[in-house]
Amino acid sequence: MLTVLGIDVSPDLLERWVNWLAPDEQPFFVTKKQATDWKLEPDDREPTPEDRDTYRIYNIDRRAARTVWLSEAAYCELPMATRAALVRAQVNYGRGAVPTVRKWAGVLGAGIRQQADGHRFVWWKSLLTEPGRVLPEIVSEDLGPSRHAEVRSWPKQLPRARELAGTFADGSGPNCFGTVMAACGVEGAESVWMLREPFEEWLADHTERGGRDDVPGTVFVWRDAASQVQHAALTIGDGWMLHKPSQSWMTPRKVRTVGEVKRATRTAGWRLERHRVVG
């Protein structure tokens, strides 16, 4: 069994990771002029939630208003100069999953220099024949491991905290709000993209302001300057905290210390408030 961030990853989940990192067709973002100059046909298909997170579609530069979906075969048929310019454009427009050759040549071989401009490349399934050498590093990048194995006592008043701790979701969507609600006993909350409104309703109905960092059942809520809730986490006692860093398929429901979560979540313009779970 492969272990990533201290969490067991089944062969089935690893296979899904491969498909989410390198789908059979992936999006490339271009301007209208680039689409014309490079003889690319835009396609307005709806991306999957996993596409949105893999390629960070929510951060794409607005100049790149056209989306082109290419298979590996179609991509490889493009002239080398077009591939090079296309890949450089993805970096400039903020697309995700455009890694550096320098980082991966030692794992994938020097041949990846020939894919595009010699400095960047994109993932295809042909590069993932040994996913256990690639996916763990991608998924764990910039994330500390889950420390759920170090927890000695799980609070009874948080009935599903132990079940959820140290698990990956079945795809993109499940987020921090649903993780907190599910740990407190809300069935199914861990499997959906929990929006702000139902989370705020739950917070109003099941918590009161206050709480201590060292006892179970304190919900940390981070709000932006407009008082919009941006992140949430839950103390489970003895200095431990459960949270899911984002809605991405790459981020697990993990246990870290209260201090570690506070440091990782510190963002300019956000303020932290505490709520105690009641009832």
Task: Please indicate, yes or no, whether residues 59 and 122 belong to a single structural domain of this protein.
Answer: yes
- Stretch 248-253: mean pLDDT: 97
Q: Is residue 166 part of a domain?
A: yes
Angstrom distance (rounded) from CA 206 to CA 236:
17
Q: Which residue type occupies 28?
A: F
In order of 122, 192, 200, 205, 272, the CA distances from 223 in angstroms are 35, 21, 12, 19, 7
In order of 123, 175, 265, the CA distances from 256 in angstroms are 31, 16, 12
Task: Please indicate, yes or no, whether residues 77 and 153 belong to a single structural domain of this protein.
Answer: no
Angstrom distance (rounded) from CA 144 to CA 264:
9
- The residue among 9, 4, 54 whose CA lies nearest residue 170 is 9
Q: Is residue 143 part of a domain?
A: no
Task: Please indicate, yes or no, whether residues 96 and 158 belong to a single structural domain of this protein.
Answer: no
Q: Specify burial of residue 182 (Cβ count, 10 A radius: 0-12, 13-18, 19+).
A: buried
213-240 pLDDT per residue, tens: 999 999 999 999 999 999 999 999 999 9
Task: Please indicate, yes or no, whether residues 108 and 165 belong to a single structural domain of this protein.
Answer: no
Q: Is residue 135 part of a domain?
A: no
Residue 75 confidence class, pLDDT cut points 50, 70, 90? very high
Task: Please indicate, yes or no, whether residues 89 and 169 belong to a single structural domain of this protein.
Answer: no
User: What's the domain range around 247?
Assistant: 148-277
pTM of the model: 0.93
Task: Please indicate, yes or no, whether residues 167 and 91 belong to a single structural domain of this protein.
Answer: no
The answer for residues whose C-beta is within 8 angstroms of residue 246's C-beta and 6 or more apart is 53, 175, 176
Task: Please indicate, yes or no, whether residues 118 and 183 belong to a single structural domain of this protein.
Answer: no
Evaluate if residue 90 carries a pLDDT over 90: yes
56-67 pLDDT per residue, tens: 999 999 999 999
Confidence (pLDDT) at 33 = 98
Task: Please indicate, yes or no, whether residues 177 and 246 belong to a single structural domain of this protein.
Answer: yes
For the record, the structure tokens of 58 come out as 């929510």
Task: Please indicate, yes or no, whether residues 86 and 179 belong to a single structural domain of this protein.
Answer: no
Total domains, the chain: 2
Q: Is residue 136 part of a domain?
A: no
The answer for residues whose C-beta is within 8 angstroms of residue 90's C-beta and 6 or more apart is 28, 29, 98, 120, 122
- Stretch 88-98: mean pLDDT: 98
CB 190 within 8 A of CB 173: no
Task: Please indicate, yes or no, whether residues 99 and 166 belong to a single structural domain of this protein.
Answer: no
Domain holding 248: CATH number?
3.90.1720
Strands 240-243 and 254-257: antiparallel
Widest CA span in the chain: 64
Residue 77 confidence class, pLDDT cut points 50, 70, 90? very high
Task: Please indicate, yes or no, whether residues 157 and 89 belong to a single structural domain of this protein.
Answer: no
- Stretch 166-189: mean pLDDT: 97
Q: Share the mean pLDDT of the chain.
A: 97
Angstrom distance (rounded) from CA 84 to CA 118:
8
Task: Please indicate, yes or no, whether residues 195 and 95 belong to a single structural domain of this protein.
Answer: no
Angstrom distance (rounded) from CA 192 to CA 179:
9
